[in-house]
Amino acid sequence: MENNQHELKKGLLPRHVQFIALAGMIGTGIFKGSSDTLSIAGPSVIFTYLIGGLLLFIVMAALGEMAIAFPNHNVQLLLYKAFGFKVSFITGWLYWINWTIVITVELLAAGSFLQFWYPSLPLWLLSLFCAAVIIAINLFPVKYYGELEFWFAGIKIIALVAFIILGAFIIFGILPSNIEEPLANYTAHGGFFPHGVSGMLSAFLVVMFSYGGAELVGVAVTETKDAERVMPSIIKGAVWRVIIFYIFPILIICGIMPWNQITGQDSPFVQVFTITGLPGAAHVMNFILLTAVLSAANSGIYATSRTLFSMAKSGVAPKSLMKTSNSGIPVIGLLITSLCLLVGVFLAYISPGNIISYLMTIPGFTIMMVWIGICSAHLKLRPQYKSMPAFYVRWFPFTTIIGVISLSLIFIGFVLSPNNIIGSTVSLVIVGMLVVLSLIAKKR
């Protein structure tokens, strides 16, 4: 039963926000996308993840500082405050499109993991089933969503820790396995940099896609209790955890199996457990991967519905998107996102073989643009603070400028790369359409 209220409920606890951010970051990007990054760069991809993690910290720190300086302002509202209607219109809708594509990728990945057990069922049907499950979850009040996501994300974090420990035991010979000289895999098969520095840099697009979701902290802040007090620790914790949960597993995968034997058909994590010969381990890992990508999709549904609500509140989207249910759920935004997911499922019906790889390139572009927008807003808004927050970015403005320049160079490099022609073309067309619409649209 809908009502006429237009406010979200502050039902999220600090641990919920911490894990929502981690849930957005730890999904298809690591469990499925790691096969792409390893094929592009080999073992040297760990440096790509490390550099990307440093840029992530700059973005997160800038976002956290602004969120404390301007309470109840999420990403979209901060961009509106910094640059006005047109930029807020473009970035808000771009962020919504980005997360809609990410959710589609996560659901398609979930469907592919289910095919591990049900190979005869089509990808689109399994993905449709997964979509129905997470949409139903998001109809519950936000405190229940936060609690469920806390446990959802907890499963994959425990799984990653177990994978790291088990893998390390195998590599150092503590656990017996049929793998000969695992440490040799780091330098064999073309060396640590098999495709040179250019290969390492080429992996940035999938890495940025993987890290996308960290900024969910800036979306969830408006529904968080005691946000000003807890935000600094949430941001610091999210950054170092995500770097650990990406770099260590990649090191384990490269040690246990040659990087050039990673097929991409199954997750590298499942492949590792399969070749170790541990009984039932591949099935357990596949279940964990399934919950992981469903968790990331769950966070994405949350992000899209709240972004549409925020845009309606600032006047860059129809006011009808502000309508919430009795429990504070932005139901219209949730419905629109759900309809778009059906389009993604239809794409899986048309092209089940390549659809995940094609779609994964697009959010890499859009998330970089949003991150550039966050850093640019930080440069613009810092002089407008009434007082400096206790948590702030050190060495301002140099730190933020480094973030803007680095992200811009990565973005330009991939737009010009012939390998990313499909993703860059689609992304630039989307941005071009939003620019035109921003000139036509009027503040509501």
pLDDT of the chain along its 444 residues, tens only?
344 455 555 555 566 666 666 655 666 667 666 777 777 777 888 888 888 888 888 888 888 888 778 877 777 778 888 888 888 888 888 888 878 887 888 888 888 888 888 888 888 888 888 888 888 887 777 667 777 777 777 787 787 888 888 888 878 777 766 666 667 777 777 777 877 777 777 777 777 767 776 666 655 555 556 666 666 777 777 667 777 788 888 888 887 777 777 766 666 777 777 766 667 777 887 888 788 778 778 777 877 877 788 778 777 777 777 777 776 677 787 888 888 888 877 776 776 556 666 666 677 777 888 889 899 999 998 988 887 877 778 888 899 999 999 999 888 877 777 767 777 788 888 888 888 888 887 665
Does some domain include residue 256? yes
SS3 category, 150: helix
CATH number at residue 298: 1.20.1740.10
The gap between the terminal CA atoms of the chain, to the nearest Å, is 26
Structure tokens at 426: 């689609």
- Number of domains within the chain: 1
Q: Which residues contact 163 (CB under 8 A, 6 or more apart)?
A: 249, 252, 269, 272, 285
Residue 375 is predicted with a pLDDT of 92
CA–CA dist 241, 236 (Å, integer): 9
Helix, strand, coil share of the chain (percent; to 5)? 75, 0, 25
Looking at residue 72, what DSSP letter applies? T
Helices (H), 27-74: 28-31, 34-41, 45-69
In a domain, 1, yes or no: no
Residue 6 lies in a domain: no
Pull the structure tokens for residue 97: 């499109």
Supply the pTM of this predicted model.
0.76
Q: What is the pLDDT of residue 177?
A: 67
Nearest to 239 by CA among 110, 422, 54: 54
**Residue 325 φ then ψ, to 5°:** -80, 180
* CA–CA dist 325, 166 (Å, integer): 46
Report yes or no on 7 lying in a domain: no
Domain that holds residue 247: 14-440
Query: Is the residue at 5 inside a domain?
Result: no
The answer to whether residue 8 is domain-embedded is no
The predicted structure's pLDDT at residue 3: 44
For residue 207, the model assigns a pLDDT of: 78
Q: Show contacts of 68-73: CB within 8 Å, 24+ apart.
A: 68/227, 68/228, 68/231, 68/232, 68/389, 68/390, 68/391, 69/381, 69/385, 69/386, 69/388, 69/389, 70/381, 71/227, 71/228, 72/221, 72/222, 73/221, 73/222
- Is there a domain that residue 221 lies in? yes
Is residue 217 situated within a structural domain? yes
At residue 214, the pLDDT reads 67
